[in-house]
Structures are given as structure tokens and as C-alpha cells.
């Protein structure tokens, strides 16, 4: 039972950081869950966890949604998450974890070094961001950082940013959950975690929203990127061992 306590605690931390950082909890949750479950099981559990997580975010940040971005980013993201989820069956779990660790390390280093980089808020860039975030979400379980970077180009308020991202993510997670189920990634003996993770998503999102009212956004996102870097390195070390 000790492992379950640590699993829940770390999942809560992932949800809080995912809410505040705007990347989504999967960026932290997937490497953490990899210490407790095999990678394909992690993909299945994460998709289901994220459905409840995004519903919670939509409730807490329901003040506004950008409908144009929902279409430009959301539609290609949903299409390509299905493609990525299907392709994940042809790649071994160790290779997927390796891809994930390299992705986290390179992404965090890039944004830590080039802090002022911005994507131009064009329709083509929105569609490209949707394609890449969906593909990575289906393949390695997380594409929130790419989607967050794309949304950041539009200078949205915190509420609109998180609500819009959560609705797009909900479509992504609902789609890949179906594919993962037919891939055999969702195991009946892991389903007891779903109601636990639902509670975690509610508590974590609530705490994250409270933190957002009290901290400097830029400073905290730098901390989040540093934590992503550490997570990526620790995941890579685990694989190499």
C-alpha cells in the first residue's frame, strides 16, 4: 500500500504543476507513473485520468473559451492523436519511454534557454501545433507543452488559455482512450485507480487555481520547465539502468 500512497501524492503534484504551468498534468504524470506501471498501461491510465482532469479544469476555468482556436488546433489534434495512438502499438515500450525522456529534456532546455521565443499566431501555426500536440499525445502520452506554446502566441488570459486547452485536450483524451482500449492498454486490474485519480484531479486543479492568483507566472513557468528537465533526465536514467 505504500506505493499507492506515493503514487497518489506524486499524481497530485503532477496535477497542480500541470494546472499552473499550463502544460497539462500528463507531462509530469507519465514519467512518474512509469515507476509503478508498464508504459502501455501508463498510456491507458493517463488518457482516462486526463478526461476527468480536463472536465475539472473546464469547470474551474469556465469563464471563457476561444472557439476559433478550438477548431484550428482541436480538430487536427484529435485526428493525429488517433494516428499516434495507433502507431504506438508498433513501437516497444522502452523505445517510447526513451522518446518521451528525450522529448522532455530537449523541450525544457529549449524553452529555458530561449525564454522569449514566441510562435506567430497564424492559422497555419495553429494547425501545425494541433497536429504535433495530437501526434505526441497519442504516441508518447503527452503533447500539452506543444499545445501550450501554440496557445501562448495569442496572449490569452489565464482562464481562456486553460479552458480552451482543456477542451482541446478533452477531445484528444477521449479519442485516444478508445484506441488505447482496443490496443489492450486499459487493464481491468488498474481501473480502481480511476476514481482515486478523479479526486486527485479535482483537488489538484483547485490548488493550482489558487496558486495562479498568488505567484508570478513567468517565474513559476521557469520552475515548471526545470522540473520537466529533471523528470526527463530521471526517466532517461531509469531506462539506461
Distance CA 170, CA 58 (A): 9
Please tell me the predicted confidence (pLDDT) of residue 55. 83
- Residues 16-31: pLDDT tens digits? 888 877 767 777 788 7
Residue 6: predicted pLDDT? 85
Q: Work out the burial of residue 188: count CB atoms within 10 Å of its CB; fewer than 13 is exposed, 13-18 middle, 19 or more buried.
A: exposed
The predicted structure's pLDDT at residue 203: 92
Grid cell 485507480 — which residue?
Answer: 193
User: Residue 216 above 80 pLDDT?
Assistant: no
Is residue 100 within 8 A of residue 30, CB to CB? The reply is yes
Task: Kindly state the average pLDDT of the residues 36-50.
Answer: 82
The model's pLDDT over 82-121, given as tens digits with 9 standing for 90+, comes to: 998 888 888 776 787 788 788 878 878 887 888 777 677 7
Decide if 151 contacts 132 (C-beta within 8 A). Answer: no
Instruction: Provide DSSP, 186-207.
Output: S-GGGTTHHHHHHHHHHHHHHH
**Containing domain of residue 233, as a range?**
2-240
Q: What is the DSSP string of 108-141?
A: HHHHHHSTT------HHHHHHHHHHHHHHHHHHS
Q: Is 173 within 8 Å of 25 (Cβ atoms)?
A: no
**Residue 199 grid cell:** 479526486
Among 89, 95, 107, 101, smallest CA distance to 44 is for: 89
Looking at the 3D structure of the chain, how many domains does it have? 1
* Residue 173 contacts residue 201 (beta carbons within 8 Å): no
Q: At residue 192, does pLDDT exceed 80?
A: yes
pLDDT of residue 1: 58
DSSP state of 198: H
- pLDDT value of position 99: 82
- pLDDT band for 217, please (50, 70, 90 cuts): low
Report the helix count and the strand count for the chain, using DSSP H and E. Answer: 10, 0
pLDDT at 64: 67
Rounded alpha-carbon distances, angstroms, from residue 25 to 13, 141, 174: 9, 11, 16
pLDDT (tens digit per residue) in 152-180: 777 777 777 778 888 888 888 888 888 88
- Residue 207: its pLDDT value, please? 92
Is the model's pLDDT at 132 over the cut of 80? Answer: yes
Are the C-beta atoms of residues 93 and 184 closer than 8 Å to each other? no
List, in sequence order, the alpha helices (H) in 61-122: 67-87, 93-113
Instruction: Quote the pLDDT of residue 237.
Output: 83
pLDDT tens digits, 44-90: 888 888 788 888 888 877 666 777 888 888 899 889 989 988 888 88
Give the pTM.
Answer: 0.74
Instruction: Choose between 218 and 175: higher pLDDT.
Output: 175
Percentage of the chain lying above the pLDDT 70 cut: 93
Amino acid at each position: 500500500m505504500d506505493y499507492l500512497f506515493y503514487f497518489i501524492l506524486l499524481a497530485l503534484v503532477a496535477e497542480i504543476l500541470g494546472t499552473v504551468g499550463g502544460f497539462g498534468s500528463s507531462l509530469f504524470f507519465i514519467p512518474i507513473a512509469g515507476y509503478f506501471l508498464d508504459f502501455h498501461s501508463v498510456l491507458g491510465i493517463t488518457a482516462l485520468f486526463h478526461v476527468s482532469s480536463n472536465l475539472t479544469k473546464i469547470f474551474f476555468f469556465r469563464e471563457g473559451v476561444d472557439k476559433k482556436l478550438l477548431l484550428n488546433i482541436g480538430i487536427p489534434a484529435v485526428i493525429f492523436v488517433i494516428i499516434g495512438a495507433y502507431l504506438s502499438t508498433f513501437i516497444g515500450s522502452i523505445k517510447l519511454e526513451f522518446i518521451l525522456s528525450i522529448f522532455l529534456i530537449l523541450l525544457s532546455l529549449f524553452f529555458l534557454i530561449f525564454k522569449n521565443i514566441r510562435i506567430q499566431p497564424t492559422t497555419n501555426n495553429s494547425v501545425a501545433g494541433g497536429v504535433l500536440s495530437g501526434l505526441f499525445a497519442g504516441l508518447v502520452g503527452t503533447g500539452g507543452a506543444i499545445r501550450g506554446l501554440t496557445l501562448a502566441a495569442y496572449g490569452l488570459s489565464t482562464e481562456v488559455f486553460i479552458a480552451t486547452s482543456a477542451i482541446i485536450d478533452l477531445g484528444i483524451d477521449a479519442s485516444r482512450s478508445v484506441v488505447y482500449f482496443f490496443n489492450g492498454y486499459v487493464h481491468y486490474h488498474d481501473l480502481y485507480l480511476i476514481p482515486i485519480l478523479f479526486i486527485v484531479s479535482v483537488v489538484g486543479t483547485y490548488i493550482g487555481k489558487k496558486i495562479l492568483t498568488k505567484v508570478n507566472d513567468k517565474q513559476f513557468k521557469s520552475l515548471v520547465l526545470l522540473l520537466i528537465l529533471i523528470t526527463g533526465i530521471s526517466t532517461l536514467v531509469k531506462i539506461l539502468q
